Amino acid sequence: MFDTFSLVHVAAYIGAGLAVGISSIGAGIGEGYIAGNTNIAMMKQPKSIDILLRTMLIAQAITETGAIFSLVIAMLLLFGGMINPDGSWQLVASLFGAGLAIGAGTLGAAFGNGYTGGEACKGIGRQPRESKLLTANMLIGQALAQTSSIFALVIAMLLLYSTPTGDSIVKTLAYIGAAFSIGFGTFGPGFGIGIVAGKTVDGISRFPKQSSILVRTMFVGAAVSESTSIYALVIAFLLLFVA
């Protein structure tokens, strides 16, 4: 039979694995999409290899951000003193929930950032003279998409450091519910904003004179898409501190 202290170990280890394992899916696919489109663009514009390489590395670095967030949470779970002899069911839930929240919560943003970066590199291959404009709007779009993973990071940190310990079944399930809320509630917005931003840079590469209209529409679309991740954040806060 497992005692509660043993289950705290299990929760921390599984949480660390979920954090890095899930987030790596989005980061790996997103970065691969960027690199693939960069290669295609290089074949079309061999004189713009330096610009394309620089844009690719910037886009991949931003796409990697969510995985870095997850790595930090995983390291805290393993070596941050989260496991203690006074473990409780609420601590078990908070450790497991922190890993789930950051792992799943960064997945959509990674997909979105990868798509945006790939479309920007593809656009530079089509219009190398507009590389600065395309890169600038790529960064804006990726920053908007990354908001969801920042929400997930906030909830993960709160689960680690701001949740009281005890054996209340209600609180235990509330912590798990908060992790599910932010983890799955941010997938659609993160990916959706990435699609908006990717199509925006694609449109700018085709119709650079219409960039102001396209960017304005991107902001409106991203704001509407982001609203559902804010709902998820609010519910996660309520589950953590009110339930």
pLDDT of the residue at 196: 96
Q: Are 85 and 9 in contact (CB under 8 A)?
A: no
**Spatial distance between the Cα atoms of 161 and 80, rounded to a whole number of angstroms:** 11
Work out the mean pLDDT of the chain and round it to a whole number: 93
Angle between helices 89-105 and 65-79 (to 10 degrees): 160
**Spatial distance between the Cα atoms of 187 and 151, rounded to a whole number of angstroms:** 11
**Spatial distance between the Cα atoms of 196 and 222, rounded to a whole number of angstroms:** 7
pLDDT higher than 70, residue 2: no
pLDDT higher than 90, residue 83: no
pLDDT higher than 70, residue 86: no
Per-residue pLDDT averaged across 195-217, rounded? 95
Tell me the helix, strand and coil percentages in the chain, rounded to 5. Answer: 90, 0, 10
pLDDT of the residue at 23: 95
What domains lie within the chain, and their CATH numbers?
4-241 (1.20.120.610)
Report the amino acid identity of residue 242. V
pLDDT higher than 60, residue 66: yes
- Band of the pLDDT at 81, cuts 50, 70, 90? confident
Q: Scanning the structure block, which residue is given the tokens 């704001």?
A: 223
pLDDT of the residue at 1: 43
> Tell me: the pLDDT tens digits for 7-60?
888 899 999 999 999 999 999 999 999 999 999 999 999 999 999 999 999 999
pLDDT of the residue at 163: 79
Angle between helices 4-44 and 89-105 (to 10 degrees): 0
> Tell me: the pLDDT tens digits for 109-149?
999 999 999 999 999 999 999 999 999 999 999 999 999 99
Report which DSSP code applies to 128: G
pLDDT of the residue at 3: 56
Class of residue 76 by CB neighbours under 10 A (exposed 0-12, middle 13-18, buried 19+): buried
